[in-house]
Amino acid sequence: MSTSTQSNPGLAALRDALRRFAADRDWDKFHSPKNLASALAVESAELLEHFQWLTEGESAALPPSARAKVAEELADVLLYLIRLADRLDVDLLAAAHAKIARNAEKYPIEKARGSARKYNEL
């Protein structure tokens, strides 16, 4: 499949770099899926911390220094996500395409338009 992680040069290169990074440091023993899922949640919260006291408008107009820090947190989330998917042998891109298709069924355009309600409350 042309969009799979395996054949996607960007994600596969990151996955391989993370494998080498962990192997070089003997970190595989720490990288159980349970621990990586915790680390991913922690990084997501560090990302959220940058926005917690901002208004929505301010969050869309970050000054350059804040934006650079946020970009680094986004990277942390992506790296743990790739590492966790690798340890679980899940193809991230294939899973994402499947999820978009499911969401399109759960949130039909005519019902979901302009509403933030959950699919089971539409």
- Out of 69, 83, 90, 105, which residue is the one contacting a copy of itself (CB under 8 A)? 90
In terms of phi and psi (left: phi > 0; alpha: psi -120 to 50; beta: otherwise), the region of 32 is: beta
Residues whose CB falls within 8 Å of the CB of residue 112, separated by 6 or more in sequence, listed in order: 119, 122
**How many residues sit close enough to a copy of itself to count as binding (CB under 8 A)?**
82
Q: How far is the CB of 120 from a copy of itself (least distance, A)?
A: 14
Q: How far is the CB of 29 from a copy of itself (least distance, A)?
A: 8
Residue 77 binds a copy of itself (CB under 8 A): yes
Name residues contacting a copy of itself, limited to 8-67 (CB under 8 A).
8-11, 13-14, 17-18, 21, 24-27, 29-30, 32-35, 37-60, 62, 67
Nearer to a copy of itself, 100 or 120 (CB): 100
Nearer to a copy of itself, 42 or 120 (CB): 42
- Give φ, ψ of 69 to 5 degrees: -65, -40
What 8-state DSSP symbol labels residue 90?
-
- Give φ, ψ of 32 to 5 degrees: -70, 150
Q: How far is the CB of 98 from a copy of itself (least distance, A)?
A: 7
Look at residues 2, 3, 5 and name the one whose alpha carbon lies nearest to residue 78: 5
